[in-house]
Chain A
């Protein structure tokens, strides 16, 4: 079985100029954790997921793991300010510009391996043609739904 057999083709996408606030509304409305970001021609530019947003909200020394435990700080004052300041920033500022992708002819096994073995959790695997145009996406669920 190939990626094209299990991929979802009716994909909701974001443009790079969409604001982070719009992206968050999208996450919330669709209950999805990640979206591909494409230009006007449908070419894949990157992916954005809720962890990207979260990483952007937290101070870098917490994201890097240098300060893993902040239970002594009653609330991070700067959290609210950062959230407010992010609202109008474009998605391109936080998206992953080099997400792992697959071709439609790659095997489901390869898709599963990519989803699991990439250093940062992959929430969606874009399927692209040779020119980099988005054809569909493979989500972790698509790999295992055969079981059900």
Chain B
């Protein structure tokens, strides 16, 4: 009888046969040339930004497979489903939770804690943006905080520009602090087996310092010029943050599940759980709680709505990129690039780490840090054996990953196009008649970014080199 067990045995056998197969490029073209061409063309199209980046990445992936750089099986194994699962799970969690009104509550509460002082509000909103960005994705955070900021600035009769500027900066800095704060960190954590706690121990202290130091120039440039009337302060103090809570039941459910998920991340190592399992498990639990008691049709309707809040464009962008990078990895390009880098730095670990940090920051301020980090990860993995052979101890080797994470995430602060959150804030501001222009933004943001990366360089040198 062809039972279920036999079916699975056949399936496994089939997979093994498939795994054995190797890719053959069409017309016998050299794989390195084909893979590199697909990689360069795709990245050029992503930078040109004429066609949506997810479409470009998927087309590039289709080409990589279609031209025989990798087989479909190799392509699929190139996709880091731990990253995809963690991202999707967190997107569902946030998508459901935001209906509770908790994020607006936090923004208003923080503004009121500053007693209506404009500099105090700038600092408090920055802190709340940084903390939220550390646990949620940055785009969602600014989508929730920036409109409230516009309203607060209106009531204070001040320009919202300094507040929005500080929030952009806080969002990218906060995102750098944790494993789940920014997609590059998710990728790095997954690839280098760095846990949630590792990020808390290694990057969070750096980000606290970076955040605090950044406030000094922000005060000199904007803060000391901000002043409001006592009436304006009273108007902000009259806000009722508790009215922002729209759904108390949902709030309790969300906070409980969020608490469990964070606890799960903290205990992931002893529990032998990967972050994707925790995030998707949490998402499933929250969806169950939220739809509990609703009729079947209502529950189905709600579920449909929640799943539309997942940013599928980003998810498919990731999938495409992973496959394109798998292509150049299989073809040996990344190994070559790793060798070039090592010959450039003379194989010196400290120099290599600093190069990774600064190059990551400058490039990430111009191009999307996701494709950049997706390429850097296998490249760095290729470099590690050389350093191990040279006797660099493991805890120092980790410094290379922290340099990549800090550079790639903080680099987003450098220009208006450095990170998605920057563009989202610019869009909201533009619609409200407060355009954030590329060059004026650059003049303040780029030096600030250099300052932040400088602090990171000192930190990495002091702690790991």
Binding site for B on A (CB under 8 A): 59-61, 64, 66-67, 69-74, 76-78
B274 CB to nearest A CB, Å:
36
Interface size class of B (residues with CB under 8 A): 20 to 34
Chain A residues with CB under 8 Å of B463's CB are: none
- Whether A72 pairs with B154 at a CB distance below 8 angstroms is no
**B21 on the A face (CB < 8 A):** no
Question: 1/0 per position for B421-439, CB-CB distance to A under 8 A?
Answer: 0000000100111000000
Q: For the complex, give the distance between the alpha carbons of A69 and B101 in Å.
A: 9
- Whether A61 pairs with B431 at a CB distance below 8 angstroms is yes
Closest 9 CB pairs of A and B: A67-B147, A72-B244, A66-B147, A60-B432, A72-B243, A64-B431, A61-B150, A61-B432, A71-B243
Q: For the complex, give the distance between the alpha carbons of A78 and B156 in Å.
A: 10
- Whether A59 pairs with B146 at a CB distance below 8 angstroms is no
Q: For the complex, give the distance between the alpha carbons of A33 and B99 in Å.
A: 33
B190 CB to nearest A CB, Å:
33
- For B108, B147, B246, the residue with the greatest tally of chain A CB atoms inside 10 Å of its CB is B147
Q: For the complex, give the distance between the alpha carbons of A31 and B143 in Å.
A: 39
- For A67, A70, A72, A78, the residue with the greatest tally of chain B CB atoms inside 10 Å of its CB is A72
- Whether A61 pairs with B428 at a CB distance below 8 angstroms is yes
**B241 on the A face (CB < 8 A):** yes
Binds A, one of B30-38, B121-129, B176-184, B232-240: B232-240
**B148 on the A face (CB < 8 A):** yes
* CB-based nearest A residue for B241: A72
* CB-based nearest B residue for A59: B154
Q: For the complex, give the distance between the alpha carbons of A78 and B151 in Å.
A: 10
A68 CB to nearest B CB, Å:
9
- Whether B235 pairs with A77 at a CB distance below 8 angstroms is yes
A5 CB to nearest B CB, Å:
42
Q: For the complex, give the distance between the alpha carbons of A77 and B101 in Å.
A: 22
Neighbour of A78 across the interface among B101, B105, B154, CB < 8 A: B154
- Whether A71 pairs with B244 at a CB distance below 8 angstroms is yes
**Please, could you name 18 A-B residue pairs with CB atoms under 8 Å apart, sorted by A?**
A59-B432, A60-B431, A60-B432, A60-B433, A61-B150, A64-B428, A64-B431, A64-B432, A66-B431, A66-B432, A67-B147, A67-B150, A67-B151, A72-B105, A72-B239, A73-B239, A74-B239, A78-B154
Neighbour of A73 across the interface among B146, B151, B428, B433, CB < 8 A: B151
Chain A residues with CB under 8 Å of B148's CB are: 67
* CB-based nearest B residue for A63: B431
A91 CB to nearest B CB, Å:
21
A82 CB to nearest B CB, Å:
10
Chain B residues with CB under 8 Å of A74's CB are: 238-240
* CB-based nearest A residue for B240: A72
Neighbour of A72 across the interface among B104, B147, B235, B433, CB < 8 A: B104
Chain B residues with CB under 8 Å of A70's CB are: 151
Q: For the complex, give the distance between the alpha carbons of A73 and B148 in Å.
A: 10
Q: For the complex, give the distance between the alpha carbons of A78 and B235 in Å.
A: 10
Known: A69-B246, A71-B244. A61 touches B108 (CB 8 A): no
